[in-house]
């Protein structure tokens, strides 16, 4: 129950954030609260699925944090989230990492393998709630 509550708090925090760093922090809270929900003693594939999920999300989060910091350093937007109207490389990297975190095509290579090791309830959470925050940030 605690992990489900922090899962909701992380999503709400990232959607309602005023800065990219706050949104990143909410995504990380969301990630770290979903991993304990994935583990199941009866299912042997759940630990493999949680490791694959953690590795892809950690890689995407580190690239996202790098792009956010570089974007803020270049344009001096320390505490603002502006609309992505003009294109530059940092905004494109932020967009691509958010697509990777949500598991949308063409970055869905990890998604079927993770879904294979989850229970039905965790599949429901992964397919719906875990996609809300990254897609709202896009």
Tens of pLDDT, residues 63-95: 999 988 888 787 776 556 665 556 578 788 888
Count CB neighbours of 103 within 10 A.
23
Closest CA relative to residue 97, chosen from 67, 73, 70: 67
What's the pTM? 0.84
Residues 45-69, mean pLDDT to the nearest whole number: 90
- The rounded mean pLDDT for the chain is 85
The phi, psi pair for 18, rounded to 5°, reads: -95, -20
55-87 residues labelled b (16+ CB within 10 A) or e (exposed): ebbeebbebbbebbeebbeeeeeeeeeeeeeee
Return the pLDDT at 61.
93
Three-state DSSP string of 68-128: HHHHHHHHCCCCCCCCCCCCCHHHHHHHHHHHHHHCCCCCCCCHHHHHHCCCHHHHHHHHC
> What is the reported pLDDT for 86?
60
Q: Where are the domains of the chain?
A: 2-137
pLDDT tier at 127, thresholds 50, 70, 90: confident
Token pair recorded at residue 122: 């965790």
CA 132 to CA 110: how far, in whole Å? 18
d(CA 40, CA 80): 40
Phi, psi of 20 (to 5 degrees): -70, -30
């Amino acid at each position: 129950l605690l992990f489900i509550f922090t899962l909701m708090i992380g999503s709400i925090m990232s959607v309602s954030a005023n800065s990219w760093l706050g949104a990143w922090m909410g995504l990380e809270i969301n990630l770290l609260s979903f991993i304990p929900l994935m583990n199941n003693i009866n299912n042997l594939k759940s630990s493999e699925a949680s490791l694959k999920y953690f590795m892809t999300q950690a890689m995407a989060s580190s690239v996202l944090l790098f792009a956010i910091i570089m974007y803020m350093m270049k344009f001096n937007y320390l505490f603002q989230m502006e609309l992505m109207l003009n294109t530059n490389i940092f905004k494109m990297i932020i967009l691509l990492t958010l697509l990777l975190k949500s598991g949308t095509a063409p970055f869905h290579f990890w998604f079927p393998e993770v879904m294979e090791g989850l229970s039905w309830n965790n599949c429901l959470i992964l397919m719906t709630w875990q996609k809300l925050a990254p897609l709202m940030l896009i």
